[in-house]
Amino acid sequence: MDERNKLKTEVTIAGITFKNPVTTASGTFGSGMEYCEYVNLSRLGAVTTKGVSLTPWEGNPTPRVAETYGGMLNAIGLQNPGIDVFIKRDLPFLRSFDTRIIVNVIGKTAEEYCEVAERLSECDVDMLEINISCPNVKEGGIAFGQDPARVEAITSQVKKHSKKPIIIKLSPNVTDISETARAAEAGGADAVSLINTITGMKIDIERMTFLLANKTGGLSGPAIKPIAVRMVYQAANAVKIPVIGMGGIMDGDDALEFIMAGATMVAVGTANFLNPKATEEVIEGIEAYMARKNIRDINELIGCVR
């Protein structure tokens, strides 16, 4: 352990230092309450919360999830208790741990995103992640995330209303990820995160209908990792702002791929569903690699593959 204590795992985004580069992918970790009996939340670089909207959202009809080979489809539909409950209950809970808090922001309209961002700016949170890439809602979400002009417009609008640094969460459901990444940067984003889920579909051949009530869902898990690594690499080479990488990270080795491709931080998502301790194990995996390779500072690895 003495050796590992000398390892420098801190990373910095928009002037904010994280003790290590590992956070949670929005929507897979709630606000941490369900996981705190399995994971020491203070061990994490940050907790990224489930999407928070102005009013409570009920989400989509069930079935909302389906397993696919090496992955899963979800169409939860951004169900959440709304910002009032989040501020009153979830935030104090998260603040009782020694970790950074990134709040994922959702809305049906640009105004709603701005209002949520404004209210969270008055709270003790570290950063906001603006979710313009959820494929499972009719209004908001991906509607803002596929056209570079709209990405830039919503970014600059939210940026004006936010006193906290903002991360724009990008969709992989685009022809050229560099374009949307550059649009977010041009709009004033402090960082970009990617990838959100890839739109998919599963048919129940017994019932002869769609497996998900929403027909389509977002594909996540190790099945999408190579796509995510490629997109993180492209985005990191397209912009100067930091990139937060995610998509199928199951262990430290997976996380390191993203970091070497150019991610300053990484997020663990679907892995939490099959292993509640996944986040801590990813951190341990990164540290073990650094010790084995005699790498003193994680920053040496960020984007080391060119």
Partner 1 sequence: MSAAVKKSVRILANIRLEEGIYDMLLEAGKMAEAAKPGQFISLYCKREGRLLPRPISICETDKEKGRIRLVYRVAGKGTKEFSELRAGDEIECIGPLGNGFALEGARALIIGGGIGIPPLLELAKQLKCDKKIILGYRDVTFLDKDFEGFGEVYIAAEDGSAGIKGNVMDVVKAYDFPADIIYACGPAPMLKAVKEYAESRNIKAQLSLEERMACGIGACLACVCRSVETDHHLNVRSKRVCKEGPVFYADEIIL
* Binding region for partner 1 (CB under 8 A): 27-30, 34-35, 37-38, 50, 56-59, 62-67, 69-72, 74, 76, 79, 81-82, 85, 221-222, 270, 272-277
SS (H, E, C) the chain: CHHHHCCECCEEECCEEECCCEEECCCCCCCCCCCCCCCCHHHCCEEECCCECCCCECCCCCCCEEEECCEEEECCCCCECCHHHHHHHHHHHHHCCCCEEEEEECCCCHHHHHHHHHHHHCCCCCEEEEECCCCCCCCCHHHHCCCHHHHHHHHHHHHHHCCCCEEEECCCCCCCHHHHHHHHHHCCCCEEEECCCEEEECEECCCCEECCCCCEEEEECHHHHHHHHHHHHHHHHHCCCCEEEECCCCCHHHHHHHHHHCCCEEEECCHHHHCCCHHHHHHHHHHHHHHHHCCCEHHHCCCCCC
Cβ of residue 59: shortest distance to partner 1, in angstroms? 7
Closer Cβ to partner 1, 20 or 26, answer by number = 26
Residue positions annotated with a catalytic role: 134
Nearest distance, CB of residue 38 and partner 1, angstroms: 7
Instruction: Identify which of residues 177 and 223 has a Cβ nearer to partner 1 in the complex.
Output: 223
Comparing CB distances to partner 1, the nearer of 66 and 114 is 66
Whole-number minimum distance, CB 196 to partner 1, in Å?
15
The residue among 25 and 298 lying less far from partner 1, judged by its C-beta, is: 25
Shortest Å distance, C-beta 201 to partner 1 = 16
